[in-house]
Amino acid sequence: MKTKDFSTDIPTLGEAKIISPLKRNTKAEEPLRRFVSDEARIIVNVQMDHLKGNLKKIISFDQAGPREKIYFDPSKLKCAIVTCGGLCPGLNDIIRSMVLELHHIYNVKTIYGIRHGLQGFIPDFEHDVMDLNPDTVSGIQNTGGSMLGSSRGTQDIGMIVDCLERMNVGILFLVGGDGTLMAAKKIADKIKKRHLKISVIAIPKTIDNDIYLVSRSFGFDTAVDVATLAIKGAHNEAEAYPNGIGLIKLMGRHSGFLAATAALAQQDANFVLIPEVDISLYGKTGFLQALEDRIIHRKHAVIIVAEGAGQNLFDDQENQFDPSGNVVLRDIGLFLKDKISQWFKAKDIPVSLKYIDPSYIIRSLPANANDSVFCGFLGRDAVHAGMAGKTKLLVSFWNNHYVHVPMDASAGKRKNMDPQGRLWQSVLEATGQDAFFTD
């Protein structure tokens, strides 16, 4: 990571002059222990060789948490919450934590829920606006999906800001992935250009865990949990039949974090295929020959493939794009299923191949306990940041701390797994797949 490539400064709408309601409810002898100073910083790179340099040049993030003084007057403040993009475990937990923090701790009584993502700001779609309060969010953490709904695709930024002005919104909370972060950045820029006092706070969301400068995204822990069940099922199916093969496709458009972590959590996989490492199908060191060697030696095999793996095998096909402008990935799971079947049929080796794709089951499930707790921290810290008048930031978990990351530093960039790093090397050791890719 090149820390010189980005600034960690967080913009503010103005000086925070209002005593926080949290301070009024805090014991006089312990006021400072509850609050975080704007001078509190979390170092970005904690490796020793980095720390030996000039201390003034060490890059650090703004530590998240409640401030003693806030910018907005809660009695007059209106907030809006919107969830965008694909579904993910924990969306309802995020919504609930923000609503409860705004209502009970900061005494904000007007909280709008924008329906169906960024479409909810555009009059032509005619989506209703929800009034959010403790009653409306009661129990939503036990259900999957998003109570606000979602949508994909870009919308007119000017019309979104027009809507925020009409509704007199002071803080906009956006929950979404890389496309949402790009939209949030453009919204914040348009707001600044119009000289409006509207805070824009983002909470990054992706099962793929691939958002830049975010070490862990909510929903990932739940996804790993459920993915391990698919691996167990695939392993049981493969072992039960002669020459059994279990093939599981997991999420991971551009990064293999889920496939790799699930493989380590449930060490039944023999091959893990990720986007960061191109797949070679044929030849003495190709995947299909390695799979045949495994079947001959052990009579069964389990394969995990990330959805973005092997796209190099489709280079001869023209790219297509979804409504959000993302390249539509070719279905590597079904492609491999067909190629494996063809390979063993040509070799006259009978196999029993079972294909499992749990992707949309995982996306729409409620968060597990770890993710639910994590979402609570993210939601509350998003509220603290917005109330303090900070803007154009995303709440991140970094070096075991919750921090503010400027949108300019993260939006439009992606975190990938290092094929030479410890996570992938651990996968290679746990699966032993390298032993089959030999001459």
Catalytic (active-site) positions = 208
Q: For residue 38, give Cα distances in angstroms to 22, 385, 438.
A: 16, 11, 55
Q: Kindly give, in sequence order, each residue whose CB lies less than 8 Å from that of residue 349, ignoring residues fewer than 6 positions away.
A: 243, 292, 295
Compute the CA torsion angle 236, 242, 248, 254 (nearest 10 deg).
Answer: 130
Amino acid letter for position 98: M
Kindly provide the residue ranges of all beta strands, DSSP E only, lying in 151-310, ordered along the sequence: 171-176, 199-204, 244-250, 271-273, 300-306
DSSP state of 300: E
What's the CA gap between 385 and 174, in Å, rounded? 13
What is the CA 211 to chain-centroid distance, rounded?
6
DSSP state of 12: B
Residue pair 383/106 in contact by the 8 Å Cβ criterion: yes
What's the CA gap between 40 and 203, in Å, rounded? 21
What is the CA 374 to chain-centroid distance, rounded?
12
Q: For residue 239, give Cα distances in angstroms to 245, 269, 285, 344, 377.
A: 8, 12, 25, 18, 42
For residue 3 the two structure tokens come to 């820390």
Q: For residue 196, give Cα distances in angstroms to 192, 193, 407.
A: 6, 8, 18
What's the CA gap between 123 and 54, in Å, rounded? 53
What's the CA gap between 437 and 328, in Å, rounded? 30
For residue 200 the two structure tokens come to 């824009």
Which residue carries 């449930």 as its tokens?
266
What's the CA gap between 201 and 394, in Å, rounded? 6
DSSP string covering 112-123:
EEESSGGGGG-G
Backbone angles phi, psi at 278, to 5 degrees: -60, 150
What's the CA gap between 373 and 402, in Å, rounded? 13
* Closest CA relative to residue 146, chosen from 394, 375, 415, 435: 375
For residue 274 the two structure tokens come to 């990720």
